[in-house]
């Protein structure tokens, strides 16, 4: 068995962040958590991360700004954005900023894990043999 995939879960809402982290850990993922945008950005830039799960509405730097700064730094880690907003423009802004998959909250942990697998599988398929 290989090295566990590392997922960064960034959400200022403790219950959601803890639920996602516990569920992903139970499936064998290594999980790094962040409760605000600055923590998320620092973790994504300084740790080997395989997928970022990024809430849009967070204190300090919001998820869109974290995503913009990641991409500006040349970091192309797959990013899933989560938003409770029903406005399509939020999803459009996230996609324009470089997110790989935009999801609406509430999002069940199993749904999130399927999305993570989808992105990891796509990245593996694109990797040179």
* CATH at 104: 3.40.50.2300
36 lies in some domain: yes
- For residue 60, the model assigns a pLDDT of 85
What residue ranges in 29-114 does DSSP mark as E strands?
Answer: 30-34, 51-55, 79-83, 101-104
25 lies in some domain: yes
74 lies in some domain: yes
Question: How many structural domains comprise the chain?
Answer: 1
1 lies in some domain: no
Q: How far apart are CA 50 and CA 104, in angstroms?
A: 21
- The parent domain of residue 54 ranges over 6-126
What residue ranges in 3-120 does DSSP mark as E strands?
Answer: 6-10, 30-34, 51-55, 79-83, 101-104
- For residue 1, the model assigns a pLDDT of 44
- For residue 129, the model assigns a pLDDT of 52
- For residue 127, the model assigns a pLDDT of 59
pLDDT tens, the chain, 129 aa long: 468 899 999 999 999 999 999 999 999 999 999 999 999 999 999 999 999 999 999 988 999 999 999 999 999 999 999 988 767 788 888 989 999 999 988 889 999 999 999 999 987 766 555
- For residue 106, the model assigns a pLDDT of 86
Q: Return phi, psi of residue 54, to 5°.
A: -125, 115
59 lies in some domain: yes
């Amino acid at each position: 068995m290989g090295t566990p995939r590392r997922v960064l879960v960034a959400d200022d809402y403790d219950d959601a962040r803890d639920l996602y982290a516990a569920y992903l850990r139970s499936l064998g993922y290594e999980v790094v958590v962040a409760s605000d945008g600055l923590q998320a950005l620092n973790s994504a830039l300084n740790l080997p991360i395989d997928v970022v799960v990024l809430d849009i509405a967070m204190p300090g730097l919001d998820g869109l700004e974290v995503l913009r700064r990641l991409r500006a730094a040349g970091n192309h880690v797959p990013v899933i954005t989560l938003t409770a907003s029903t406005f399509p423009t939020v999803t459009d802004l996230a996609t324009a900023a470089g997110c790989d998959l935009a999801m609406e909250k509430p999002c069940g942990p199993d749904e999130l894990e399927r999305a993570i697998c989808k992105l990891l599988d796509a990245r593996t398929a694109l990797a040179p043999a």
